Amino acid sequence: MKKKESNNFAYIDGANLDKAIKELRWSLDYKRFRIWLSEKYDVKKAYIFIGLISKYKNLYTYLQKSGFTLIFKEIIYDGTGKPKGNCDADFVLQAVCDTYENKF
Which of 49, 45, 38 has its CA nearest to residue 16? Answer: 49
Contacts of 11 (CB under 8 A, 6+ apart): 47, 49, 91, 94, 95
Q: Are 84 and 75 in contact (CB under 8 A)?
A: yes
Total Cβ atoms within 10 A of residue 35: 14
H, E, C per residue of 35-99: HHHHHHHCEEEEEEEEECCHHHHHHHHHHHHCCEEEEEECCEECCCCCEECCCHHHHHHHHHHHH
Q: Among 3-7, 36-40, 84-88, which is the least confidently predicted range? A: 3-7
Residue extents of the structural domains in the chain: 8-100
Ramachandran angles phi, psi of 11, nearest 5°: -120, 110
Give the mean pLDDT of the chain: 90
Q: Among 1-10, 18-27, 35-44, 87-96, which is the least confidently predicted range? A: 1-10
The per-residue pLDDT for 49 is: 95
pLDDT tens figures, 40-90: 999 999 999 999 999 999 999 999 999 999 999 888 888 888 887 777 888
Q: Are 48 and 90 in contact (CB under 8 A)?
A: no
The per-residue pLDDT for 92 is: 87
Q: What is the pTM of this model?
A: 0.84
The per-residue pLDDT for 4 is: 61
